[in-house]
Amino acid sequence: MGGLRGRHFLTLQDFTPREIKDMLSLTRELKSRQKIEEPHLLLKGKTLAMIFQKSSTRTRVSFEVGMWQLGGYALFLSSQDLQMGRGEPIKDTAAVLSRYVDGIMIRTFDHAEVEELAAHSTIPVINGLTDLYHPCQALGDLFTIQEKLGTMQGVNVAYVGDGNNVAHSLLLGCSKMGLNIRVASPPEYRPQEEVVVRAMENASLLGGRVLVTADPAEAVAGADVVYTDVWASMGQEEEKNKRRAVFSGYQVNSKLVGKAGPGALVMHCLPAYRGEEITAEVLESEQSVVLDQAENRLHAQKALMAVLMGNII
């Protein structure tokens, strides 16, 4: 894993299946060490700057707590407080932060901003969600699937809903790791074609399958995992009503989950809107693993930070 030190984590596409596998193995190790309260101060004395231009519960808390558990320190920087919010160029922010801290986590709108930040940073930059991708979520989700089902190879994942950042990272993550993924979205809210093509290329190398359809029943038929996310993401609040109408046939409810394989896992990155993209009944059912998903963000991101920012292996 030595080759991961100093790298940026902007999308899962930049990592090989072997590298992702190694991060997932370290995730497992750090999770068990945390559970038995065995110290694992892999980032002792290191600091992480966390830039948030959008709201967050899970990402903020899991990164901050994760740094603490690894013996480091995390600074929360909202765009209201940073000079970046008043027009200081991203490249200056990147260069200056590189002199103070050991890594930067950023959540923002335009993915190009994260690329620019990374281009001008001499320290690792981690994408904590953009309009295009949410790779930390997908990393944690792959870990959760492996933990629950014992394997990733050949697992059938159905994603039903908006072809958004979460869908994009899931497409790349699943196709890289040998899972099959079917996405069902209304035609005008399909995942971006470029991402779908990438995922299909990944799948052809690794033996998985990728399908994008407008039919939720087709996506879910026999699936091992049924995944959904909000219909209106952060920054799309004004489209909420319009989207509610377009997506009404894409709700993950017990009828739809009934078409999946027996005991299929129900996943959602959270926050969830009960009665919209998922019913309360399904979200809170025995099949739902949403809280394990949320917890595993912590363990997966600790592994990620340790390999990018630490002196590991």
- The verdict on 57 binding ligand CP (CB under 6 A) reads yes
C-alpha span between 312 and 148 (Å, rounded): 27
Minimal distance, residue 58 CB to ligand CP, in Å: 4
C-alpha span between 175 and 202 (Å, rounded): 5
Helix, coil or strand: residue 24: helix
Please report, as ranges, the residues that interact with ligand NVA according to CB under 6 A. 129, 164-166, 229-230, 233-234, 269
- The verdict on 137 binding ligand CP (CB under 6 A) reads yes
- List the structure tokens of 197: 């093509």
Minimal distance, residue 211 CB to ligand NVA, in Å: 21
134 is an active site residue = yes
Kindly tell me which of 107 and 182 has the beta carbon lying closer to ligand NVA: 107
C-alpha span between 311 and 118 (Å, rounded): 20
Minimal distance, residue 295 CB to ligand NVA, in Å: 15
Active-site position among 162, 229, 287, 301: 229
How many residues in the chain?
A: 313
Helix, coil or strand: residue 40: coil
State the binding partner of 301 from ligand CP, ligand NVA, none, CB within 5 to 8 A by kind.
Answer: none
CA dist list (Å): 81 to 66, 76, 78, 164: 23, 10, 5, 28
State the binding partner of 57 from ligand CP, ligand NVA, none, CB within 5 to 8 A by kind.
Answer: ligand CP
Active-site position among 269, 287, 299, 301: 269
Q: Is 267 left (phi over 0), alpha (psi -120 to 50) or beta?
A: beta
C-alpha span between 72 and 278 (Å, rounded): 37
Kindly tell me which of 264 and 269 has the beta carbon lying closer to ligand NVA: 269
Active-site position among 134, 168, 243, 299: 134
C-alpha span between 86 and 92 (Å, rounded): 13
Q: Tell me, rounded to whole angstroms, the distance of Cα 245 from its chain centroid.
A: 27
- List the structure tokens of 222: 């026999």
269 is an active site residue = yes
Minimal distance, residue 51 CB to ligand CP, in Å: 13
Kindly tell me which of 42 and 166 has the beta carbon lying closer to ligand NVA: 166
**Exposure string (b/e) for 59-98, b if CB count within 10 Å is 16 or more?**
bbebbbebbebbebebeebebeebebeeeeebeebbeebb
Please select the residue that binds ligand CP; options are 53, 59, 127, 296, rule is CB under 6 A.
Answer: 59
99 is an active site residue = no
- The verdict on 58 binding ligand CP (CB under 6 A) reads yes
Please select the residue that binds ligand CP; options are 70, 269, 278, 298, rule is CB under 6 A.
Answer: 269
- The verdict on 56 binding ligand CP (CB under 6 A) reads yes
Kindly tell me which of 101 and 136 has the beta carbon lying closer to ligand NVA: 136
Kindly tell me which of 123 and 136 has the beta carbon lying closer to ligand CP: 136
Kindly tell me which of 175 and 293 has the beta carbon lying closer to ligand CP: 293
Indicate the burial class of 208 (C-beta count within 10 angstroms; 0-12, 13-18, 19 or more).
buried
**Closest CB to ligand NVA: residue number:** 233
List residues with catalytic annotation. Answer: 107, 134, 137, 229, 269, 297
Q: Which residues bind ligand CP (CB under 6 A)?
A: 56-59, 129, 137, 269-270
